[in-house]
Each structure stands twice: as structure tokens, then as C-alpha cells.
Amino acid sequence: MKARAAKPRAAAHKPIKQVWYHPVSDAIDEPDDIDDTIPEPAAIVSSVRLREPLNLLVMIKSEGMRLDQYVQLHLGTDFSRTDVQKSIVSGSITVNGKSSKPGYKVRKLDKLHVAMPEPTHEIPVPEDIPLHILYQDDHLVLINKPPHMVVHPAKGNWSGTLVNALQWHFREHLSTGNGHLRAGIVHRLDKDTSGVILVAKDDVTHRELSMQFESRKVFKEYVAIVAGELDRDSDYIEGALKMHPHDRLKMVVSTDADAKHALSYYEVLERFRGFTLVKVQPRTGRTHQIRVHLLHVGCPVLADKIYGGRVSVKLSELTPELPDGEDSVLIGRQALHAFRLRFQHPRTEQWIEAEAPLPPDMRCLLEALRQYRPYR
């Protein structure tokens, strides 16, 4: 980890502004920030459908990734890595019009043609699931995704997803450039991460927004509650990331040559005894970047079952004097929230900024920390 000069530790609470959305002046400098979620690929041909071949254009941040890993990452859990490898070997997946190998390292501007076997599941069924819409117009919509909601259907999650809800509320007014299973989805948030997510209503808007994510022109800001106390009020964490050598669900900080550069800035918002409320601005867009970086500096996100080793935080963990029968679960998922998103509207060229209020479980956890673990 590299660090800048230290600032005095904060002892006071910094309130989080609760604004839903507002246009931003064109005078604001163009951001160079994106989140640690994976943007959906920008399709070369915008008319791609679920059962049609998919054409992908490799951008610079994915350069050096294995071909099978890159394709499987963009297909999600619809197909396994083995399925992808078989398709590469059979010639169903090509690079720049030629057959390749699963271990080929993709390069910037490589054109991939992906023709996977027809999936056995159907197009997502519209479901009447309420959505908290922060902003919408004729071309896009910004939604405050609740925790525990999967973004798009996949193996084991064919209903109750954000895409099922989008099909009900917007039906034919969604982009389909990445197939009907991901209709409208420009980027993804983990199931247990809440907050702002961007949805495209047409293929042209989707493609242009995807390019903004790929070129790091979308600004995203997260709020997390972590275990431990960060040494500095503001700093940056710089550590290259790669897939865990033995656990495909995890990423790790690594100095290996194939690890991808990753940079996150943070600012402490409020301190508690043994815990910290922190704002994080990822400057690169690696998988699980925020969670891995915070773990790397000794402050894992609370209730992060993959990186923190726990699935919930109970009131009894904050106050040992709690009477019998009064214990309760304060939060049952990772305490990470996509708080703010700012980008340039691809049609109007105006800057749009949306903010999602903290969800009830994170507010409940903060109230308990202020009561039982105030900073001294």
C-alpha cells in the first residue's frame, strides 16, 4: 500500500448528505473514476439478442486477461468456465476472426465473437417488484437497488432479480444489446451491496454508457462500515488485484505480473471504538476492489462473509452488558452501499448526479455504534 501524508484523526461525525438526484453543471471537471463493479461489455453490434452470437470489444483495462476468463466474466453464471473453454477449442469463440486458445491473453481492441450453446432457460418473467427510482428520462433510469437483490437472472436466481422487476416496470423500453437476461443492465452491483445502479432504455444509450465505464469517466462513491480503525483521515490504497489461486469467488492483492493495477481513495466520515464509517472512491474498476483493499489495510467491511469471515453483526457484539433476550441482528449482509454516481448523459451531454440514502440496516448499525461505541 502506498500512502500520502497523514491528516489528523477525526473525532467528530461528518453527516452524509441525503439528496436523491440533481443535474450537475457542465463546468465540473470530467471525472476519472469508476467503481469496483464490472461494467457490462460494450457490444460492437447493438442488435445482439439472447440466442444470437455476441460481439465484444476488449478495452485497455482488460488487457492481459485470459480469454476464457474474460468471456466467462461477461457471460456471468449462465455458462461455466468449462463451457467457455469448450467453445473456444471448438472455434465457437474467435478472436479477430481467428480461432484461439483458452489461455490467450486478450489485447486492447481485440474483437471477440462469442457463439455459446443455446441456454436452456427462458427470457426473464416480469415481476411486480417495487423499485426506488432516483431519476429517469426517455433514455435511462437510476435506481436505488436494495440489499439482497441479484441484478440479473442466473443459475439459482431465476426470479426476484432487478431484471425481473425492470421487465415489469419498463417492458419493451430496455436495452437488449447484452441479451434479455441482462436487459437494461449497464453495470452490476453485488447481491449484498445496495445503492445506485444505472439502467439503459435503448441500445445506443447502453453502448455509450458502457464506453464511459470502460474509459473510467463514471464517478462512483461508496460508503462502508468497517471493522477496525483506519490510521488516517484520508489516504489512498494502491494494490494490484488478481483472482485467488484456490478460491474463484475471491480476489487478492498481489505483486504477480498478471495482477491488475487497482487504486482506491478513502475518507473517514465517523470514528467509533473499533469501527469506522468510511467513504471510498475507487479510481479503477476491479472486481471486489473496495472490499479487498479495505481488508488489505486491516479493516474489512462488516458482515462480509467472503472477506470478513462473518455474515452478520449482532447488538451483543457491541455491548456485552446487554440483558438476555434483547439481542438482535443489526445487519445481515456486507455493510457496503453505492452512495453516489455521476456521469455525463450520453444524449444531452449534461452531467447527472444521483445519491441513494443509506438503507435501514446500515442506519440501524450506525445508531448502535453511536450509542455503544462512541469514539473517545
Cα–Cα distance measured from residue 151 to residue 190, given in angstroms and rounded to the nearest whole number: 8
Cα–Cα distance measured from residue 98 to residue 259, given in angstroms and rounded to the nearest whole number: 27
Q: What is the pLDDT along the chain (376 residues), one digit of tens a residue?
A: 444 433 444 444 444 433 333 333 222 223 233 334 444 444 333 333 334 688 999 988 888 999 998 998 887 666 778 889 999 999 999 999 999 999 999 999 999 999 987 655 567 889 999 999 999 999 999 999 999 999 988 766 778 999 999 999 998 899 988 788 889 999 999 999 999 999 999 999 999 999 999 899 999 999 999 999 999 999 999 999 999 988 888 999 999 999 999 999 999 999 999 999 999 999 998 999 999 999 999 999 999 999 998 999 999 999 988 887 889 999 999 999 999 999 999 999 999 999 999 999 999 999 999 999 998 7
Whole-model pTM: value is: 0.71
Number of residues in the chain: 376
Indicate the burial class of 12 (C-beta count within 10 angstroms; 0-12, 13-18, 19 or more).
exposed
CB 197 within 8 A of CB 189: yes
Q: Which fold has domain 54-114?
A: 3.10.290
Q: Which three cell numbers stand for residue 331?
A: 445487519
Q: Kindly report the CA angle at 17 between 14 and 18, in degrees rounded to 5?
A: 140
Q: 33, 36, 68, 190: which one is catalytic?
A: 190
Write down the pLDDT at residue 159: 86
Q: Quickly count: other Cβ atoms within 10 Å of residue 247's Cβ.
A: 10
Write down the pLDDT at residue 142: 98
Residues of the chain with CATH 3.10.290.10: 54-114
User: Could you confirm whether 202 is annotated as catalytic?
Assistant: no
Write down the pLDDT at residue 52: 65
Please give the backbone phi and psi of residue 121, each rounded to the nearest 5 degrees, phi first.
Answer: -95, 170
Which amino acid appears at position 97 of this protein?
Answer: G
CATH of domain 21-39+122-372: 3.30.2350.10
| SS3 (DSSP) at 259 | coil
Residues of the chain with CATH 3.30.2350.10: 21-39+122-372
CB 50 within 8 A of CB 179: yes
Write down the pLDDT at residue 77: 60
DSSP per residue, 64-113: T-BHHHHHHHHHGGGS-HHHHHHHHHHTSEEETTEE--TT-B--TT-EEE
Cα–Cα distance measured from residue 325 to residue 332, given in angstroms and rounded to the nearest whole number: 19
Q: How many CA atoms lie within 13 A of 367 on its CB side?
A: 9
Residue at grid coordinates 457491541 = 318
